[in-house]
């Protein structure tokens, strides 16, 4: 048994490794690690199941440090527990270029970091997604294979952010009882006391949302342990309010905002050592304390070995399916099914909205790929994300494959990150493209973490019509294309929509946006081969009858306009080619030779058509190219009238080309 003195010493090891690292870096947040060290010590030493030597063990408990500014708490714990990626040199180089110990925890930098946190509230919503994924995997594979907890450590900032209410209310509704949130209830933010800006009764808020709520002294390790024990037995998610002192042990700064976001200073740090009886130098952990921590790191290996024994007794088909899903491999047969569906579309040539084409593609995909987990932010009938036979997840019943997220776009996106990070599922969900504004912070983290998360975003232009400019996205395609490592697909017809879905599923290290139309569009792709032409990002969908004098680039619903303009121009003797551009990012990844073949040498007049703003299109048409699109917000009216009103028509394209050719210098 570990004595109370040793328990305190183990917590102090976290405190002073953290404070020393912040001091050495000259920046950082020592207050949270010093205040929450007892919480972390109890959680890691008495409850969490994990294995530092096999950190990807699928049935490990998940720990999310939602208050990511306190990153040194997690780095210190990982070092003390014996994770190979974090040694003392990494601790010493906290926040330095090239170190794994970044300013905020970053997924993929080191084992033991389950998600990238820092933007407050994101980690809490990630944890809700992880807890939901655990229950959904449990419903499929049973207790012997999937039965673990998700813990999140949150601060006041996480709970003030609006995303917290979205996430916690859905978690309470779904009765995610394997989720425990530990609140570092220290009453301090950067500006000072929380009471400056907030008087919310957080426990009452959580209780009103269906949570079990508890409170304890956050510096009494036995009290913390008793609360966690109670939480683990609950039939609901649990909030534990752990009353702590920020910067605990620092006599001049503890309990104040001065301990929050800057180093303590040499004098204050020395005084904290004296106050807590820590008679060891910077970055020094006595062998006896380190040994205790390392033994904790070995403790869960027994649980992991027991799990492996159970797993070995499961039938081979189930084992293989579980491991395939955890690895993220797609099932065999999906490629052939998509090829068959594309050939059927070539034969039938439907005129349908790409949101409907997406639903039809999903009918094929969801039948073969059981790990897709769909959803919508209360727009299921508009986003077309629920296919036939797809049962909804409900409170206490997690066997379904569709999530009713409610009007919670921000939490939906962040929860999908958590689902993807947990493993075993490919999450996708729907809303209107204009509401990507609500999702954007989480979408940015999808890209930063390189997660296979698929955002189905319908009503992609002024073509949605009568709902007017509040719902008509004009700048959103450009804004989403600006996110590094994000794939933004805007397909032109049912064939391209199917191809874009295939690419999104295959993209194991990138999130995808499918921007889909409300209005019906013709099938333009009539070639009957299996090549995924959308994979190139841009390709010639309709060649010129000879050497092209004009090249028209377009996406989505505007490809139809481009082809109509091509027909008119060629009837006037102006040879014109049309290039469909379903994905800028895919095109940029092509070889220089391919890009040159598409863009040409500048002798062809370049035109771009998109019912959005010009930003980003100069890559294709240059500064002097013709852009036919939006220069401001939309308006309310039927889609055809809006396209005519804003001049996004074949006639406008032809007129612009004529005008430019008339004023161009003659060779």
Positive or negative: CA dihedral 356, 357, 361, 367 = positive
Q: CB 575: neighbour CB atoms within 10 A?
A: 16
Q: For residue 164, which of 408, 403, 402, 404 has the smallest C-alpha distance?
A: 408
Those residues with Cβ within 8 angstroms of residue 127's Cβ, 6 or more apart along the chain or in another chain: 62, 64, 66, 150, 151, 152, 179, 181, 418
Other Cβ atoms less than 10 A from the Cβ of 160: the count is: 17
CA-to-CA distance for 83 and 536, rounded, in angstroms? 41
Q: From CA 591, how far away is CA 582, in angstroms rounded?
A: 17
How far is CA 396 from each of CA 209, 419, 427, 494, 600, rounded to the nearest angstrom?
A: 16, 17, 20, 37, 58
In the numeric block, which tokens belong to residue 584?
């800028």
Sign of CA dihedral 548, 550, 553, 556: negative
Sort strands 576-580 and 539-542 into parallel, antiparallel or unpaired.
Answer: antiparallel
Query: How open is the CA angle 146-150-156, to the nearest 5 degrees?
Result: 170
Neighbours of 374 (CB within 10 A): 24
Q: Which of 409, 496, 558, 570 is catalytic?
A: 409
How far, in Å, CA of 293 to CA of 140, rounded? 35
CB 493 within 8 A of CB 523: yes
CA distance 112 to 100: 12
Known catalytic membership, residue 166: no
Asked if residues 410 and 163 have their Cβ atoms less than 8 Å apart, the reply is: yes
Q: Output the six-digit token pair for 457.
A: 């975003």
Residue 315 CA neighbour count, 13 Å, CB half: 4
Tally of CB atoms within 10 A around 403: 26
Nearest to 366 by CA among 395, 396, 340, 331: 331
Q: How far apart are CA 73 and CA 554, in angstroms?
A: 50
| CA pair distance 132, 128, nearest whole angstrom | 6
8 Å CB contact between 114 and 130: yes
Dihedral angle, C-alpha 349, 355, 359, 360, nearest 10 °: 0
Helix pair angle (71-81, 4-25), 10° resolution = 120
Catalytic residue set? 409
């Amino acid at each position: 048994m570990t004595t109370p003195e040793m328990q305190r010493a183990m917590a102090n090891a976290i405190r002073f490794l953290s404070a020393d690292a912040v001091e050495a870096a000259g920046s950082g947040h020592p207050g949270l690690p010093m205040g929450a060290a007892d919480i972390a010590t109890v959680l890691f030493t008495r409850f969490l199941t994990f294995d530092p030597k096999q950190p990807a063990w699928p049935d490990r408990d998940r720990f999310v440090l939602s208050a990511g500014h306190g990153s040194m708490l997690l780095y210190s714990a990982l070092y003390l527990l014996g994770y190979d990626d974090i040694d003392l040199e990494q601790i010493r180089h906290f926040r330095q270029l090239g170190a794994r110990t970044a300013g905020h925890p970053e997924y993929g930098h080191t084992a033991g970091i389950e998600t990238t946190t820092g933007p407050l509230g994101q980690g809490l919503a990630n944890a809700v997604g992880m807890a939901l994924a655990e229950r959904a995997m449990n419903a499929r594979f049973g207790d012997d294979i999937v039965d673990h907890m998700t813990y999140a450590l949150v601060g006041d900032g996480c709970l003030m952010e609006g995303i917290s209410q979205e996430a916690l209310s859905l978690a309470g509704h779904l009765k995610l009882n394997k989720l425990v949130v530990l609140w570092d209830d220290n009453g301090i933010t950067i500006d000072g006391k929380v009471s400056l800006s907030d008087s919310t009764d957080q426990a009452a808020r959580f209780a009103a949302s269906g949570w079990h709520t508890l409170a304890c002294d956050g510096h009494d390790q036995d009290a913390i342990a008793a609360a966690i024990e109670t939480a683990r037995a609950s039939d609901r998610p649990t909030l534990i309010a752990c009353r702590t002192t920020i910067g605990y042990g620092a006599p001049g700064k503890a309990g104040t905002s001065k301990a929050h976001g800057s180093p303590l200073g040499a004098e204050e740090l020395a005084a904290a050592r004296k106050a807590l009886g820590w008679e060891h130098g910077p970055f020094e952990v006595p062998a006896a304390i380190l040994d205790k921590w390392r033994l904790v790191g070995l403790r869960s290996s027994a649980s992991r070995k027991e799990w492996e024994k159970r797993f070995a007794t499961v039938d081979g088909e189930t084992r293989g399916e579980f491991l395939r899903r955890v690895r993220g491999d797609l099932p065999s047969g999906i490629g052939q099914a998509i090829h068959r569906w594309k050939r059927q579309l070539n034969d039938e040539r439907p005129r349908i909205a790409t949101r409907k084409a997406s639903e039809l593609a999903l009918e094929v995909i969801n039948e073969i790929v059981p790990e897709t987990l769909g959803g919508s932010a209360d727009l299921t009938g508009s986003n077309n994300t629920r296919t036939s036979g797809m049962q909804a997840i409900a409170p206490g019943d997690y066997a379904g494959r569709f999530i009713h997220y409610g009007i919670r776009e921000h939490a939906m996106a962040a929860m999908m990150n958590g689902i993807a990070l947990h493993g075993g599922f490919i999450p996708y969900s729907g809303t209107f493209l204009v509401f990507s504004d609500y999702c954007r912070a989480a979408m940015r983290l999808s890209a930063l973490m390189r997660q296979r998360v698929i955002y189905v975003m319908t009503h992609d232009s002024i073509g949605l019509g009568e709902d007017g400019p509040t719902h008509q996205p004009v700048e959103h395609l450009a804004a989403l294309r600006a996110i590094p490592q994000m794939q933004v697909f805007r397909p032109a017809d049912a064939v391209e929509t199917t191809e874009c879905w295939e690419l999104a599923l295959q993209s194991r290290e990138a999130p995808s946006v499918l921007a889909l139309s409300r209005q019906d569009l013709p099938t333009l792709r009539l070639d009957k081969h299996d090549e995924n032409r959308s994979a190139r990002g841009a390709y010639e969908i309709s060649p010129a009858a000879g050497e092209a004098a004009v090249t028209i680039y377009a996406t989505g619903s505007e490809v139809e306009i481009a082809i109509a303009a091509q027909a008119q121009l060629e009837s006037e003797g102006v040879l014109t080619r049309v290039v469909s551009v379903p994905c800028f990012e895919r095109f940029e990844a092509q070889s220089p030779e391919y890009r040159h073949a598409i863009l040409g040498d500048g002798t062809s007049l370049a035109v771009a058509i998109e019912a959005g703003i010009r930003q980003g299109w100069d890559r294709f048409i240059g500064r002097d190219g013709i852009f036919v699109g939006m220069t401001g917000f939309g308006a309310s009216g039927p889609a055809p009238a809006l396209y005519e009103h804003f001049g996004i028509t074949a006639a406008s394209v032809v007129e612009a080309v004529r005008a430019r050719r008339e004023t161009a210098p003659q060779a």
